[in-house]
Amino acid sequence: MTSESLHSQGAPARRTVVAAVGGAGLALGLGACGSGGSDEADGAGGSGGSGGAGGSGGGPSSGAGAAGSDGGVLARTTDIPEGGGKVFAAQGVVVTQPVKGRFEAFSSACTHQGCAVSRVADGVISCPCHHSEFSAADGGVRKGPATRPLPAKGISVTGSEIRLT
């Protein structure tokens, strides 16, 4: 008896089924990892673009849709605490106010392995993945394992409105 006689003519071979299931699982896994709209990437429980949570910390925020990406208002100056900042995950930016009235913006992707920074407090931008720390004033590395500063992002402040440029 041959292996061909064990399979009915219309049924797929075991190898085909295993390959299809493996491919589907891989696609689902990669989709979950790369989704920019997941709660984890957007900071579940984060506040909206304006009228966000105050305090010295700055949890991740998905902002208001794509606000700021096309020159729209990203935040109001009152949304960014002095000595702290706010992460806008959807826009890939963290905005800080190291001293009263001075606003800075940096990429929110840690230069160590690309994790999104999650917190700004007491003049320090923190990455939760491997605990790198960056200066809220200039994006420079305060504590590794990261070795490169966060790249600066362009913003403009007009009155109380902060926009990406």
Please work out, in degrees rounded to the nearest 5, the angle formed at the alpha carbon of residue 148 by the alpha carbons of 129 and 117. Answer: 30
User: What sign does the dihedral 120-122-127-132 (CA atoms) show?
Assistant: positive
- Minimum mean pLDDT range among 46-50, 135-139, 141-145, 156-160: 46-50
DSSP state of 113: T
At 92-104, the pLDDT tens digits run 999 999 999 999 9
The pLDDT score that the predictor gives to residue 34 is 41
* pLDDT of 137 over the 50 cut: yes
Listed in order, strand segments (DSSP E) in the chain are: 60-61, 73-76, 85-88, 93-99, 102-107, 119-121, 124-126, 133-135, 141-143, 155-158, 161-164
Q: Taking all residues of the chain, what is their mean pLDDT, rounded to a whole number?
A: 73
Q: Which residue type occupies 11?
A: A
> Which pair of tokens denotes residue 1?
């008896």
pLDDT value of residue 154:
95
Structure-model confidence comparison of residues 99 and 5, the more confident one? 99
